[in-house]
Amino acid sequence: MTTHYTAPLADIRFDLYDLLDVGKLFAKLPGCDGLTCETIDAVLEEAAKFSQQVLAPLNEVGDRQGCTFDKETGAVTTPEGFKHAYEQYIEGGWAGLTAPEAFGGQGLPETIGAPVKEMVDSANLAWGTYPLLSHGATEALRMHGADWQKEAFLKPIVSGEWTGTMCLTEAHCGSDLGLLKTRAEPNEDGSYAISGTKIFITAGEHDFTDNIVHLVLARLPDAPKGVKGISLFIVPKFHIGKDGKKGKRNAVRCGSIEHKMGLKGSATCVLNFDAAQGWLIGEPNKGLNAMFTMMNTARLAVGLQGLALSERAYQNALAYARERLQMRALSGAKFPDKPADPLIVHGDIRRMLLTQKALIEGGRALGLYAATLVDIQHRAKNPAEVKRADALVSFLTPIIKALLTENAVECTNLALQIYGGHGYIAEQGVEQYARDARITTIYEGTTGIQALDLLGRKIVQQRGEGLRLFLEDLGAFCAQHASDETLKEFIPKLSALAKEWTEVTQRLGMRAVSNPDEIGASAVDYLFYCGYIALADAWTRSVAAADASSQSDDFKQAKRMTARFYFDRILPRTRMHLAAMQAGPDSIFAMPDKLFG
């Protein structure tokens, strides 16, 4: 049985127009000033059609068929219909939606690209992984590539004629990139011979395009040890000269594909590089600078993947809860003309549905806010505005990546729970979302890695500049609405949490100075603590925006009631995470390793 999907256009439009006021934002950003609501709506509606009509029907097909690997040729065949869907994707101009016009893209802002990506991933996340890293490769090449590299590689990626990958991980080296062993030997023509094996490469081989551009981390012969000795190289599947002409097959080959828990329609490859020709991007031994451009883009994108899976799982759980008859409501029959009441009348089912709705809509508001910051970061002419947006998006990236993907694990499992035994069997289709969601908390940096980035780097090393700016905005909003009767159930709680957030961060930072283990012990709890307050901020702003909008009374009431549920039932999770942080690292590190056995 194939689950259904309907793009949540009403909520997306509310976030864009009422909550974030993108018309005002775009009017002052170069390249966006002519973008009208009519144009945005047209893009969103066409994306919804493509997602619903082309991609969604292939979701179950991809999970059932998976990808096939030919050991003789190293070729990967994607599930039935995937390649044709990609052809339609290219014909529709979706590949270069947010890419610069100078390289053949449409130059639309990321704030419009983000909801399009959400719709694609809700419809078929496995399919959505193939063009995913092309966006990151575009950013890395645009910012760090030489002119000839942009001409030769960037334009075909933007058009969708080629796709891109990101090749970091090795069998002995996951998050600790300082351990990587892939070598890069200089050639006489200025290129390099890349040798090594990379694993877990999403879309490393497929049948969508005839060429794939791999961005590969490797070491030069004289490179220093650790992360300071890593360089980044372009290694195409087929040789590409500086004139852009395609040559013979390069010495890179898919050695196998992984057999996975989920995302079975997405090819996850082992790639073997055997003196493959590659070209240096940027400066020698500065590869992480360029790679993080790609990685940070991917981390925000993975956060949207989590949101997308949550949305589709919720839609189907809600439909099931409305249709499935089970028992009578505890307060008496709600549908006396039926043999039993539908699931949706029962308290625990409503709790699970509201939890999903609150996490999804709050997460969407937060994710789209981050997208506006990316547009300011890339387009604003005022250096102070760019610097401010850069600090804010840097602070929010690990929160969005980790929180929205962990929420996806929670939301997809809640959806499965609502289905009961029917959710656990494959015929209903909902168990796929629980399996697909699980990887999102792992790839592009695990939740623990995101938490260390947030607390260790963004707070301790960078002295919490992004947090300071976020709290500055939050404080100004609370002050503006301090006497607003319609927000009195939210503003005092939010103001108190903002004050506490500052104090908790300061105390944790001071303890970390004397004991670095405080960071490792508290990082994940700190990230969730930050994330839940950030969602509370998003929900309060959403209620204020809804009240001031021309939305229907039902829409406004739904926002307010969902916000109330969030504050009453989910925001108290901050108390648990605060207590864990206050407990310190002793109970984590005191036990000798041998006692774990």
Residue 218 near residue 282 (C-beta atoms within 8 A)? no
pTM for this model (two decimals): 0.97
Q: What residues are annotated to the active site?
A: 444
Residue 534 near residue 501 (C-beta atoms within 8 A)? no
Classify 74 in phi/psi space as left (phi over 0), alpha (psi -120 to 50) or beta.
Answer: left
d(CA 517, CA 228): 24
- Residue at 309: amino acid letter: L
d(CA 371, CA 349): 33
* Owner of token pair 């030919």: 70
d(CA 303, CA 293): 16
Q: Give, as one character, the DSSP assignment of residue 258.
A: -
Q: Name 42's Cβ contacts closer than 8 Å, sequence gap at least 6.
A: none
Q: Give the residues across from 215 on adjacent strands.
A: 166, 234
Residue 213 near residue 150 (C-beta atoms within 8 A)? no
Token pair, residue 293, equals 């451009």
Q: Name 519's Cβ contacts closer than 8 Å, sequence gap at least 6.
A: 452, 455, 456, 460, 512
The angle subtended at Cα 72 by Cα 69 and Cα 78, nearest 5°, is 20
Residue 142 near residue 158 (C-beta atoms within 8 A)? no
d(CA 456, CA 469): 18
How does pLDDT run along the chain (597 residues), one tens digit per residue?
578 999 999 999 999 999 999 999 999 999 998 899 999 999 999 999 999 999 999 999 999 999 999 999 999 999 999 999 999 999 999 999 999 999 999 999 999 999 999 999 999 999 999 999 898 888 889 989 999 999 999 999 999 999 999 999 999 988 888 889 999 999 999 999 999 999 999 999 999 999 999 999 999 999 999 989 999 999 999 999 888 899 999 999 999 999 999 999 999 999 999 999 999 999 999 998 888 887 888 999 999 999 999 999 999 999 999 999 999 999 999 999 999 999 999 999 999 999 999 999 999 999 999 999 999 999 999 999 999 999 999 999 999 999 999 999 999 999 999 999 999 999 999 999 999 999 999 999 999 999 999 999 999 999 999 999 999 999 999 999 999 999 999 999 999 999 999 999 999 999 999 999 999 999 999 999 999 999 999 999 999 999 999 999 999 999 999 999 999 999 999 999 999 999 999 999 999 999 999
Nearest CA among 479, 317, 305, 508 for reference residue 409:
305
